[in-house]
Chains A and B, each alone.
Chain A
Amino acid sequence: MSLLTVENLSVVNSPSGRSISILRNISFSLNSGETLAVIGETGSGKSMLCKSIIGLLPPGFSRSGNIWYISSDNTKISIITAEESDLLNMRGREIGMVFQEAVASLNPVVRCGNQITDVLSVKSKIEKNKRKKHALKLLETVGLSEPERIFHAYPHQLSGGMTQRVALALALAGEPQLLIADEPSSSLDSISKKYYLNLLNRLKQENNLTLILVTHDVDEALSFADNILVLYAGCMTEYGRTGDIQKSPAHPYTKALLDIARALKENNLPAAIPGEISSLTNPPPGCRFHPRCPKAQDICRVKEPSSICISNSHSVRCFFLVDLS
């Protein structure tokens, strides 16, 4: 059963009367225990997608469409229409989130351990005198070898890899079903990154987590995710099972991303996608990818492609699909 179903989600920012479309018609569903990777360049709206799922869009942003979530007691909740108090209740306990800059997401003037017990005090039924013990255990589960020291440390006293794991412990403290990881490894060096991703995978299996992994690393997505969603300038260009996308990417943008990833892996200098990601404030008409698309035709410049289902788990938005043979 789908734990999370997103239907035609759009996010609009309206500063001083203008309306800027940040996300357009995003639809996907995520089964319990699976991993969805959201890939795209910086500015494609990945973070906004995460924030709309957890209901924490900045002021001035509004959502339309539907986000359905099946809570642990099997009730279907519409996240978009839910009351703030219900969402507050859900955050941490049903849906957890880790951010790109872990150290920035921790309170600089409160000890790491106390931040964990803060969460435990509102998100779990653990008695007060047992919270510290539980927090130490959590720190151990996220692979921190000196839990006692980390418990008493302030965030700035820890390395990037450590704070990222503390942040993970915080997100898992309320034992959520769904974990949203917004580029959790992008600020880490390659060794810590690998370690972190393996840890994430292990914890996912142990706790039967459902994971949304936002990344701009295509390889990471291919090796960890069951499904992949490709975002370009706020539009969902392609969505499908990882195997399908890897074998037969249908959208020119997905294909370009995969080509770059492959070239990097083979230590070749990849040919970058020409041009820059189109701005959200002033998007090009028609298909938002057309200024950079090698296959663009006249129709792409005037008309926005609608979603085509190639198979029941693979959809794409493009008039001229990449050769599917």
Chain B
Amino acid sequence: MISIILKRVLDSVPTIIIGITLTFLIVHLAPGDPGIRFLDPSQSPEIQQVIQKRFGLNEPLYIQYWNWVKRVLFHFDFGNSFYNGKPSSEVLRSALLPTILLAGCALVFALITGILLGILAAIRSNTFTDRTITIIMMLFFSTPAFWLGIMFLGVFSIQLGWLPSSHLTSLYHDQLNTIGRFTDYIKHLFLPVLTLGLPLAATFFRYIRSGVIEALRSDYILGARARGIGHNKILFRYCLKNSLLPIISLLGVIIPALLSGAVIVEVIFSLPGMGRTMVSAVFGRDYPIILAASILAFFAVVAGNLIADITYSIIDPRIRYQTRKNS
């Protein structure tokens, strides 16, 4: 098992290198430069050059790239933000928590909703319940996150005023006791999590529903029924475990989707997370931040795939067997 994991980690090194290099090139070759934030076009070229020099942007691109790689590899230094001078790692660290909270809660919410509704629809397949759930889930599946987010904001925050419309905490958050802080987080995260989680829940729902329906028709379920195994055990031990497999392999794709979804949701709900940090870094051409955030995103995606593969092989012995045979 450990050798398989190591092999997979090594396999992903080229992906990360290529990904980061491409990001570096795209960021630097895109029109506009960090100077625009500080410069007035009417300022003299001399001042512009001074600023360029300060940021190391006057060197040829390959030297810039090499310097950057050296710093990252040998000093683990991702550079300071062009904008506020803080180290990238610090900027990202403070942005990480909201994103992890948001994405994690959305994933858990989507898994629970998707699986429960999927099973319910499958055992009631082709009835009114099934059709209703399926139609509602398809609506969420095909609704873009930004529209859903804006609708939630409009209805629940602005019209009804039930939930806050932005930020992760209230202004008076620090004065609250533990329970108060907790509910404060929940209130602020509720709509963002729904916005990010509902389309995902719809994806899970589709897989679970068809997986359970297929499993219920399969020979091994017939076999289990012929042996007199009860309905609940058949559903949870026999059907669900098999229908979870496609979802686990999906996790590899879902983590990038969650991250890119988080960007939109964080912008809509003004959450101080990675997504928003990244967006403002891109607008400000804050190269160190963009690059550091990209590296983090690459690692998240690679790790997601790895975790998916490992879980998959734990749940499905057939895969474990094959990988062992192949390696």
Contacts and interface: CB of A to CB of B under 8 A. Distances in A.
B230 A167 contact: no
A170 B227 contact: yes
Contacts, number: 87
Contact of B222 (A89, A105, A118): A105
Interface string B223-256: 1111111110100011001100000000000000
Interface string B302-323: 0000000000000111100100
A156 interface: yes
A123 B226 CA distance: 12
B283 interface: no
Interface residues of B, number: 23
B156 interface: no
A174 B321 CA distance: 31
Contacts of A106: 220, 223
Given A88-B228, A123-B228, A105 B223 contact: yes
Given A56-B222, A101-B219, A104-B219, A109 B317 contact: yes
Contact of B226 (A89, A91, A107): A91
B317 A174 contact: no
A109 B230 contact: no
Given A154-B321, A157-B321, A56 B226 contact: yes
A28 interface: no
Contacts of B233: 118, 122
Nearest to A104: B219
B220 A108 contact: yes
Interface in A57-93: 88-93
Contact of A171 (B227, B229, B318): B227
Listed from nearest, the 10 A-B pairs whose CB atoms lie closest are A92-B228, A105-B223, A91-B228, A104-B219, A97-B226, A154-B317, A92-B227, A107-B220, A119-B227, A105-B219
Interface of B: 218-220, 222-231, 233, 237-238, 241-242, 315-318, 321
Given A104-B218, A107-B220, A122-B228, 5 more contacts: A90-B228, A91-B228, A99-B219, A107-B237, A123-B228
20 contacts: A56-B225, A88-B228, A88-B230, A89-B228, A91-B225, A97-B226, A97-B227, A101-B219, A107-B224, A107-B237, A108-B220, A108-B316, A109-B315, A110-B237, A110-B241, A122-B228, A122-B229, A122-B233, A154-B321, A170-B227
